[in-house]
Structure 1
Amino acid sequence: MKYIDYYEVLGIPRTASDKEIKQAYRQLARQHHPDLHQGDAKQAAEEKFKAVNEAYEVLGDPEKRSKYDQLGRNWQTGQDFEPAGTGFAYSTHNTADFDLGGFGFSDFFANIFGQDFAQRRQTGRPASFKGEDIEAEISLSIEELLNGAEKDLHLTTPNACIACAGQRFTSRGVCPACGGLGMTEESKTVKVKIPPGLHPGASLRLKGLGGQGHGGGADGDLYLHIKAASHPSWQLANKADLTMDLTLLPEQAVLGAKIPVSTPHGQLQVKVQPGVRSGQQLRLKGKGLPQGPGRYGDLFLKIRIDIPARLTDEELALYRQIQKLKAPAAEN
């Protein structure tokens, strides 16, 4: 028989995490499920579906994966595989002895895991386990980051398949109810309370809002990742700092002025020094987003000088007077 590279079957590196293995399996199992194909494509999908299930049966089980990884040090894809004489303890037997045919597993699998797999199916695995944790993102306005909010979240949560108790197989083979995924999906809406003082990139753990537990096991948790929504006035510069434009009239830039400025923390009177230039930045310390208990980022005001579109005759006369005053300096 040929050595089978289960990592290659799932399209993942040998360093893949448990989460990456599960994600790859579910994606491929859905893609190649035989019920989604017809004609010649259906037979090819069935073979791929069996291979994907077999790969996950090994790599999704820490004990099986460890045993398989030891074997993988000495074998490569496509090489002839001979259990005897390798110094590794294999189960050399007839696949039919353990009735693995109904599960669609290869002789390669049966020679390594057949007896262990069959005994577990006969005695049964623990029926109680914790529901899956799930992750989601939520965009909050700057005001909501500062003050907190209550939000309705529309979630799709994975629950253990009732027909196979989340094991992906029944006594007849791959579970027809969940298609070998071991789970079904439920859409639900939950109300969550967002505490004040968050910053973009923060994560909240909401206990019990993940996938449903099975057999008395606790429900999984929801990990909510916080993002900042766009704002008409303030732009996010980094994790906690904000920027905004401060528009001045030419005379305000030349002579200085006090300008009312709206910040996330309320309105302030900002003193602009005489002679400020377009593009300069003024820093309002601590007027940005939260970045820890009692600490806030800054708000940076970027100076823009606006030339009025319409001027009165008197204003034009004054500008011409300034022009005349500057003319001798320009000639010199």
Structure 2
Amino acid sequence: MTAAFIDYYEVLGVKSNASKEEIKTAYRKAARKHHPDLHTKNEKAAAEEKFKKINEAYEVLSDDEKREKYDRFGENWRTAQQAQTYSDREGREDNTWSRSDADGFSDFFESIFGNARGAGGFKGSFNQQRNIRGQNLESEIKLTIEEAYHGGQKELQFSLKGRCPICSGTGMVHQNICQNCGGTGLKTNTKALNVKIPSGIRDGSKLRLRGQGGEGIGGGERGDLVLIVKVVPSSLFKLEGNIIKTIAQIRPEQAVFGGRISVPTLDGEVMVTVPPMSHSGQKLRLRSKGWPKKDGTRGDQYVEIHIDIPHTLTQPEQELYQKLLDQRKEVP
């Protein structure tokens, strides 16, 4: 069974471009915080597991060779390390490889990466890199409620690691370390993509952009970019399940006498009747003006009334309010 991929940068709480010193500092801080001896008996098991991951992360990220493979191969980094060790050992034992010798290693490598495709003969050490598909990447995409409801095209900017254009992903230029990528073979680039957003998409939905993920190795195809949708409240609307919530500000006289007001919905403005003697916090229900459901129907929209008290009054308004106050005082 393949071990679950662990984001070592996330474990230590550092960015993927963190320096060795930053990684060391983060490791010491995390190790102190999660040391099992500093936790209660009930917390000790969880602390030991966390402490183990912290040490594992530091072991990889503090080692230049392991970190380079981790950054380059992603979830396949361990098997890539094993494959390299295997090829180096076999190369030292017998500097001349026949096709039949190579078959065993080919099977080993294909069992690891699954989608690796055929290769020619081997000579010396493992000098022909197999086609390895790039890893799938995930990124969060934030949409306002209006954007998620209406859908359409949206241009997004992404920072993605891709093959270094100078060394073509080898990490070397004329037998020297590539200065453009520092020998990693990868370079972070900003990429603009036009993404089609389906109308009525829900929070937590995933959009898969094929061939826009991690760079393939040895001519392998790119992985996919998976966008996880996060629907955020807008200045007008709040979404809870299939219910849309919004606020309507009304004047004091409208609260007393009622009347017609304009209210925003996802489909545009509609006129709503405010009943007489309404109060702040009172809710008006607009049927089928909420979020689309899977069965094709829609939820409801609730309009919460807020009475807007004026900050300033004209002289006639002051006199009217004073008259009203005086009359209220006379009521037993």
In 2, Cα distance between equivalents of 1:277 and 1:29: 55
- Verify: 1:259 aligned to 2:256, yes or no: no
In 2, Cα distance between equivalents of 1:264 and 1:206: 28
5+ long unaligned stretches in structure 1: 1-14, 34-46, 67-90, 99-118
- 5 Å-filtered alignment, 1:146-157, equals 146-157=149-160
Over 3 Å counting, the alpha-carbon distance change for 1:305 and 1:244 in structure 2 is: same
Correspondent of 2:192 among 175, 185, 189: 189
The residue number in structure 2 matching 1:245 is 247
In 2, Cα distance between equivalents of 1:175 and 1:49: 20
The residue number in structure 2 matching 1:31 is 19
* Number of matched pairs: 256
Q: SS at the partner of 2:328? A: helix
CA contact under 8 A between 1:131 and 1:160: conserved in structure 2?
no
Over 3 Å counting, the alpha-carbon distance change for 1:163 and 1:278 in structure 2 is: closer
- 5 Å-filtered alignment, 1:47-86, equals 51-54=63-66, 61-62=77-78
Q: SS at the partner of 1:217? A: coil
In 2, Cα distance between equivalents of 1:154 and 1:19: 26
CA contact under 8 A between 1:199 and 1:290: conserved in structure 2?
no
The residue number in structure 1 matching 2:301 is 299
Q: Deviation of residue 128 (structure 1)?
A: 0.6
The residue number in structure 1 matching 2:48 is none
CA contact under 8 A between 2:145 and 2:239: conserved in structure 1?
no
Q: Deviation of residue 148 (structure 1)?
A: 1.6
- Verify: 1:206 aligned to 2:225, yes or no: no
Q: Deviation of residue 297 (structure 1)?
A: 4.8
Q: Deviation of residue 246 (structure 1)?
A: 1.1
Report which stretch shifted further, 272-281 or 209-218.
209-218
**Letter of the 2:283 counterpart:** Q
In 2, Cα distance between equivalents of 1:258 and 1:27: 54
Instruction: Give the structure with higher Rg (CA).
Output: 1
Over 3 Å counting, the alpha-carbon distance change for 1:132 and 1:159 in structure 2 is: farther
Q: Deviation of residue 60 (structure 1)?
A: 5.2
CA contact under 8 A between 2:262 and 2:271: conserved in structure 1?
yes
Q: SS at the partner of 2:279? A: coil
**Letter of the 2:260 counterpart:** K
CA contact under 8 A between 1:199 and 1:239: conserved in structure 2?
no
CA contact under 8 A between 1:165 and 1:214: conserved in structure 2?
no
In 2, Cα distance between equivalents of 1:53 and 1:174: 13
CA contact under 8 A between 2:251 and 2:308: conserved in structure 1?
yes
- 5 Å-filtered alignment, 1:10-49, equals 17-21=4-8, 31-32=19-20
Q: SS at the partner of 1:18? A: coil
RMSD over aligned Cα atoms: 4.8
Q: Deviation of residue 300 (structure 1)?
A: 2.9
Report which stretch shifted further, 223-232 or 274-283.
223-232
In 2, Cα distance between equivalents of 1:284 and 1:177: 59
**Letter of the 1:31 counterpart:** S
**Letter of the 1:18 counterpart:** F
TM (norm. structure 2) is 0.57
Identical residues among aligned pairs (%):
31
Q: Deviation of residue 205 (structure 1)?
A: 1.0
Over 3 Å counting, the alpha-carbon distance change for 1:262 and 1:220 in structure 2 is: same
In 1, Cα distance between equivalents of 2:63 and 2:212: 33
In 1, Cα distance between equivalents of 2:9 and 2:183: 12
Q: Deviation of residue 295 (structure 1)?
A: 5.0
Q: SS at the partner of 2:213? A: coil
**Letter of the 1:304 counterpart:** H
Q: Deviation of residue 185 (structure 1)?
A: 2.9
TM (norm. structure 1) is 0.57
Over 3 Å counting, the alpha-carbon distance change for 1:52 and 1:18 in structure 2 is: farther
In 1, Cα distance between equivalents of 2:320 and 2:265: 35
5+ long unaligned stretches in structure 2: 22-58, 94-121
The residue number in structure 1 matching 2:225 is 222
Q: Deviation of residue 288 (structure 1)?
A: 3.5
In 1, Cα distance between equivalents of 2:67 and 2:244: 49
Q: SS at the partner of 2:153? A: strand
In 2, Cα distance between equivalents of 1:120 and 1:267: 73
Q: Deviation of residue 325 (structure 1)?
A: 4.1
